[in-house]
Amino acid sequence: MLNLGDVGTRRTVPIDGVQMAKCNENEIATIIARETGVSLQGRKDLGVWGKTDESSKLSPDRFLFFEIEAGQKHPNTNVLKLWPYLEENPGASVILAQVFVEGSACCDSSRGKLASWLGAKLESIFPDRFRYCRLLFSRERHCLIDGLDSLKDLLIGRKTRRRQLP
């Protein structure tokens, strides 16, 4: 069974100067970039499969893609679109940071859980080329409350335990 609770150590990261009502996808990505030391490079075009919310090029063929789920009703499609992208780009390696906003419709929905399951499935299909990291952001507390340590581990190449599929 997929262990959705194994998404990293809970850690509060304060968000300086961000108003709750004005905290949007770009601001959340900027906060994560600041905390991880990566440079944001805008949305990544995945061809006919869509675009990411934000991206960072870690090396010529290694990317960090961001999907920020603030109002998305189908967060699973943001994971699923990477499958054909990886098939079509065999040299590419991707870390997907999927950020769920606490209290949003998709955060604890079946589609939110399906997104995590798909992340684990893609890790098993592309074991050396795809890693999934689920993060949780609290608008009320203006901070990341889960997943940041796991993302940092992935960025420095530290091995993290893959989630189990049922």
The per-residue pLDDT for 161 is: 55
Instruction: Answer yes or no: is pLDDT of 135 > 70.
Output: yes
Average pLDDT over residues 146-154: 94
Instruction: Answer yes or no: is pLDDT of 149 > 80.
Output: yes
Average pLDDT, the chain: 83
Per-residue pLDDT tens over the stretch 4-15: 333 333 344 444
Average pLDDT over residues 14-20: 39
Q: How far apart are the first and last CA of the chain?
A: 4
Complete domains list, the chain, with CATH = 13-155 (3.40.1350)
Per-residue pLDDT tens over the stretch 47-74: 999 999 999 999 999 999 999 998 778 8
Q: Which residue has the higher pLDDT, 137 or 2?
A: 137
Instruction: Answer yes or no: is pLDDT of 97 > 80.
Output: yes
b/e code 35-65 from CB counts within 10 Å (16+ = b): ebebebeeebebeeeeebbbbbeeeeebbbb
pTM: 0.82
**Three-class SS of the chain:** CCCCCCCCCCCCEECCCCCHHHCCHHHHHHHHHHHHCCCCCCCCECHHHCECCEEEEEECCEEEEEEEECCCCCHHHHHHCHHHHHHHCCCCEEEEEEEEECCCCCCCCHHHHHHHHHHHHHHHHCCCCEEEEEEEEECCCCEEEECHHHHHHHHCCCCCCCCCCC
Average pLDDT over residues 148-153: 94
Beta-bridge partners for 131: 95
